Amino acid sequence: MSQLPEQPTEGPVPTSADVARLAGVSRATVSYVLNNNAAVRISDPTRRRVREAATELGYVPHAAARSLRAGHSRMVLLPTGNFPAAPLHHHFLHELEAGLRRLDYTVVQYGSLGLDAEDAARAWAELRPVAVIAPGSVPLTPQGIAVLRRSGAKAVFTLGPEPVAGAHALIMDQRQVGGCAVRHLMERGRRRIGVVMPEEPALALFAEPRLAGARQAASAGTARIEPLPLHHDEESAAALAARWRTLGLDAVFAYDDLHAMLLMRALQDAGIEVPGETAVVGADDLMLGRLLRPRLSSVRMELDTVQPLADLVDRLVRRPGKEPERHDLLRATAVHRESS
Amino acid sequence: MSQLPEQPTEGPVPTSADVARLAGVSRATVSYVLNNNAAVRISDPTRRRVREAATELGYVPHAAARSLRAGHSRMVLLPTGNFPAAPLHHHFLHELEAGLRRLDYTVVQYGSLGLDAEDAARAWAELRPVAVIAPGSVPLTPQGIAVLRRSGAKAVFTLGPEPVAGAHALIMDQRQVGGCAVRHLMERGRRRIGVVMPEEPALALFAEPRLAGARQAASAGTARIEPLPLHHDEESAAALAARWRTLGLDAVFAYDDLHAMLLMRALQDAGIEVPGETAVVGADDLMLGRLLRPRLSSVRMELDTVQPLADLVDRLVRRPGKEPERHDLLRATAVHRESS
């Protein structure tokens, strides 16, 4: 531990009354000016005087006090899961946050931290959000949704592979990803297709629907699907590669590019030629796939543009409606390179 | 768009007065029970009755109303940057969040969203956090810190490579990473060492101190350091590899494992042997480095355990003190594999 320059001096927290006194206006006028209330006409010199007084005193409005007065909040809560969001997902959430901010919402993220679904919903409800957008990695039950709605949330959304009863559903349909990979392999003549199933519990939410999509695509042709449990470590991959020839497979959809990289290395180390003996397809279309030899085929995922979604959230906050809505966001396409 | 089962019926938001009425107790008693106030003795049957009434009505306490009454909040704000946190960082923040929750703080994350540093600080201040922990990727100025402190934040921390005047500093000293990589290369007889400088602006915060650490380590011996600007794409890597032999280098510290993977592939494609002609070291010690051939040497980074940090935050909230404190969190060690 060492010491740095001194901190600013402590003092009482300035209030809107202090700003009103310094600017020589009423507290209501301070509130109208600093909350950008356009419904009330206030002269430009007065607005300027209020803003200068606020700056001089270091006053900022109190979001919670404002929402208590207004009887509703402008807070949109994004619960976060316990593992980092995929880059695609992260970018999407960031854009959504910016879109909601343009509509004057305050977006905060809040961890679920291993709480069970209902305790988590109660913790979120304590913040009195006007809307909640819960990613699929975060548990949300119909009971939890009821708690949130009873505490004033006008709209509750889930964002993930499956809808939850009582919430609006922003669907990222992972079945498309598995279906897309398997159709790509079938078009290239493969019929005995392994599907990697990561053993990390947090990934089951994505892996199960990817497998279901793979099965559906295979049943439309004459292909066979073989689920292949795999830990994301070298030992597990080497063990799978060691028994590869007993499985009688001619292709594998490896869940994603990171698992594909792991398995392709293990197959190559075991003398199995890719793609001659076994074709490999990943998903996510990461740059690292293009750095592998053979270059990795993949499934590219794209999400809808975000501003219409921010507008949707705003519409459902202002006019909640009776029925949950469902919107599909994800589009998947196969990207052919050398490994398939 | 399609429709899902019906949502729970709308109704007025239940208040603590409703809970008090149903349980036949005072509002103060409801508050003591639901906020787990241990200073007030309340019988177990009464506690049970209050909890049951709250559950029946779907009531949860209102965090903002509670903090307005108490005159201070228990909210710790973690501003978030515009790009995903590295896995190490993400895990650390998650642990810190859990540690603060054990101390009864509410931890929320809030984006800075391309606001300038002072507008961002004002947006955070509107939430009236009692503490703010800002990662290095988020801009925070002495003026912003003053705004936060004036609005009631008892402690403001930065978490990153450099301290900011007026805030407590949780330092992840990136110079160690560069120093560690260069010492490793020098021990293996290398003297003409390139240091990859990613051209992505968001990474400059880490790249500059890594370069400074590399230079410092080199100047202790007789090695020369050559900064190598690089975009994270194949074209940029191929261009660097094409002029590699004109640079006269015998080693490269590639900023991190992802850049190392990119550059090593380009060097190999250009016929430059690794490690014979050029040794390569990454950083982050990702599993993918072990899947490359040759296996990638790397710098492993570890952070201090988190509960003492949560305790530190709590101590500085309760007894702010006059002087900012500084704590170093990062330890770096070289991991030798085949590429160096």
Chain B CB contacts of A72 under 8 Å are: none
DSSP A299: E
Q: B72 CB near a chain A CB, below 8 Å?
A: no
A2 lies in a domain?
no
Q: Are residues A244 and A260 in the same domain?
A: yes
Q: Are residues A179 and A298 in the same domain?
A: yes
Best mutation target, B7, B51, B262, to test chain A (most A CBs within 10 A): B7
Q: Are residues A197 and A270 in the same domain?
A: yes
CB B140 within 8 A of CB B110: no
Chain A CB contacts of B85 under 8 Å are: 84
Q: Are residues A39 and A80 in the same domain?
A: no
- Two structure tokens written together for B215: 């230079």
Q: B84 CB near a chain A CB, below 8 Å?
A: yes
* Least Cα separation, residue A198 to chain B (angstroms): 16
Inform me whether the pLDDT recorded for B234 exceeds 90: yes
Domain span at residue A221 reads: 175-302
What pLDDT was estimated at residue B257? 96
**pLDDT beneath 70, residues of chain A:** 1-11, 36-39, 67-72, 81-88, 112-114
Q: A95 CB near a chain B CB, below 8 Å?
A: no
DSSP A287: T
- Two structure tokens written together for A86: 């995929």
Chain A CB contacts of B62 under 8 Å are: 126, 128, 151
Inform me whether the pLDDT recorded for B2 exceeds 50: no
B336 lies in a domain?
no
DSSP A290: H
* Least Cα separation, residue A232 to chain B (angstroms): 9
- Two structure tokens written together for A123: 């913790």
pLDDT digits (tens, 9 = 90+) for A21-58: 999 999 888 888 887 666 678 898 999 999 899 888 87
Q: Are residues A219 and A269 in the same domain?
A: yes
pLDDT digits (tens, 9 = 90+) for B157-202: 988 888 888 899 999 899 999 999 999 999 999 999 999 999 988 7
CATH number at residue A52: 1.10.260.40
Residue numbers of B between 116 and 175 with CB closer than 8 Å to A: 122-123, 125-128, 142, 145-147, 149-152, 163, 165-166, 169
* Least Cα separation, residue A222 to chain B (angstroms): 32
* Furthest C-alpha separation in chain A: 86
Query: Which chain A residue's Cα is nearest to B166?
Result: A7
Q: Are residues A200 and A93 in the same domain?
A: no
| pLDDT band at B1; cut points 50, 70, 90 | very low
What pLDDT was estimated at residue B37? 66
What pLDDT was estimated at residue B6? 42
Q: Collapsing DSSP states into helix, strand and coil, what is residue A229? A: strand
| A113 against B154, higher pLDDT | B154
Task: Determine the average pLDDT of the residues in B244-265.
Answer: 97
Question: 């239940």: which residue's tokens?
Answer: B14
Contact A149 B8 (CB under 8 A): yes
| pLDDT band at B9; cut points 50, 70, 90 | very low
What does residue A195 show for φ and ψ, rounded to 5 degrees?
Answer: -125, 115
CA separation (Å) from A324 to A72, A156, A307, B65?
Answer: 21, 9, 20, 30
Boundary residue ending a domain (B6, B40, B61): B61
What pLDDT was estimated at residue A8? 44
Chain B CB contacts of A290 under 8 Å are: 234
Sign of the C-alpha dihedral computed for residues A102, A103, A104 and A110 taken in this order: negative
A150 lies in a domain?
yes
CA separation (Å) from A222 to A100, B243, B296?
Answer: 47, 52, 42
pLDDT digits (tens, 9 = 90+) for B18-63: 999 999 999 888 888 887 666 678 898 999 999 899 888 878 877 7
A263 lies in a domain?
yes
A127 lies in a domain?
yes
Q: Are residues A129 and A216 in the same domain?
A: no
CB B291 within 8 A of CB A262: yes
Q: Collapsing DSSP states into helix, strand and coil, what is residue A66? A: helix
Structural domain total, chain A: 3
What pLDDT was estimated at residue A4? 42
How, if at all, do strands B224-230 and A106-111 pair?
A: unpaired
CA separation (Å) from A188 to A191, A195, A221, A331?
Answer: 9, 17, 13, 22
Q: Are residues A230 and A243 in the same domain?
A: yes
Angle at which helix A16-23 crosses helix A27-34, to 10 degrees, equals: 100
Q: Collapsing DSSP states into helix, strand and coil, what is residue A91? A: helix
Q: What is the DSSP string of A93-135?
A: HHHHHHHHHHTT-EEEEEE-TT--HHHHHHHHHTT--SEEEEE
Contact B67 A64 (CB under 8 A): yes
Euclidean distance between the first and the last CA atom of chain B, given in angstroms as a whole number: 56
Contact B111 A97 (CB under 8 A): yes
What pLDDT was estimated at residue A42? 86
What pLDDT was estimated at residue B27? 87
**Calpha distance A157→B11 (Å, rounded):** 19
**Calpha distance A214→A180 (Å, rounded):** 8
- Two structure tokens written together for B111: 């984006």
CB B119 within 8 A of CB B125: no
Residue numbers of A between 211 and 250 with CB closer than 8 Å to B: 232-234
B339 lies in a domain?
no
Contact A8 B291 (CB under 8 A): no
Q: Are residues B161 and B74 in the same domain?
A: yes
Best mutation target, A62, A90, A309, A322, to test chain B (most B CBs within 10 A): A62
Q: Cα B306 to chain center, whole Å?
A: 12
Euclidean distance between the first and the last CA atom of chain A, given in angstroms as a whole number: 56
| B196 against B206, higher pLDDT | B196
Q: Are residues A209 and A105 in the same domain?
A: no
Chain B CB contacts of A13 under 8 Å are: 150-152
Residue numbers of A between 173 and 192 with CB closer than 8 Å to B: none
B265 lies in a domain?
yes
Best mutation target, A2, A7, A284, to test chain B (most B CBs within 10 A): A7
Boundary residue ending a domain (A61, A89, A117): A61
Contact A108 B109 (CB under 8 A): yes
Amino acid B95 reads: E
* Least Cα separation, residue B329 to chain A (angstroms): 11
What pLDDT was estimated at residue B8? 44
Q: Are residues A39 and A111 in the same domain?
A: no
CB B280 within 8 A of CB B335: no
**Calpha distance B29→A25 (Å, rounded):** 40
**Calpha distance A164→A110 (Å, rounded):** 20
Task: Report angle CA B314, B318, B322 to the nearest 5 degrees.
Answer: 105
**Beta-carbon contacts of residue A99 (< 8 Å; ≥ 6 apart):** A306, A307, A309, A310, A311
Residue from the list A58, A151, A234 with its beta carbon closest to the beta carbon of B146 = A58
* Least Cα separation, residue A324 to chain B (angstroms): 5
The rounded radius of gyration (Å) of the Cα atoms in chain A is: 26
For chain B, the three-class secondary structure string (H helix, E strand, C coil) is: CEECCCCCCCCCCCCHHHHHHHHCCCHHHHHHHHCCCCCCCCCHHHHHHHHHHHHHHCCCCCHHHHHHHHCCCCEEEEEECCCCCCHHHHHHHHHHHHHHHHCCCEEEEEECCCCCHHHHHHHHHCCCCCEEEEECCCCCCHHHHHHHHHCCCCEEEEEECCCCCCCEEEECCCHHHHHHHHHHHHHCCCCEEEEEEECCHHHHHHHHHHHHHHHHHHHHCCCEEEEEEECCCHHHHHHHHHCHHHHCCCEEECCCHHHHHHHHHHHHHCCCCCCCCCEEECCCCCCHHHHCCCCCEEEEEEECCCHHHHHHHHHHHHCCCCCCEEEECEEEEEECCCCC
What pLDDT was estimated at residue A37? 65
**Calpha distance A306→B319 (Å, rounded):** 44
Sign of the C-alpha dihedral computed for residues B49, A151, B123 and A89 taken in this order: positive
pLDDT digits (tens, 9 = 90+) for B57-102: 878 877 777 766 666 678 899 887 655 556 667 778 888 888 898 8
B153 lies in a domain?
yes
Best mutation target, B56, B78, B91, B108, to test chain A (most A CBs within 10 A): B108
What average pLDDT is seen over chain B?
87
Best mutation target, B13, B115, B259, B309, to test chain A (most A CBs within 10 A): B13
Q: Are residues B296 and B179 in the same domain?
A: yes
CATH number at residue B182: 3.40.50.2300
Contact A107 B111 (CB under 8 A): yes
Contact A151 B58 (CB under 8 A): yes
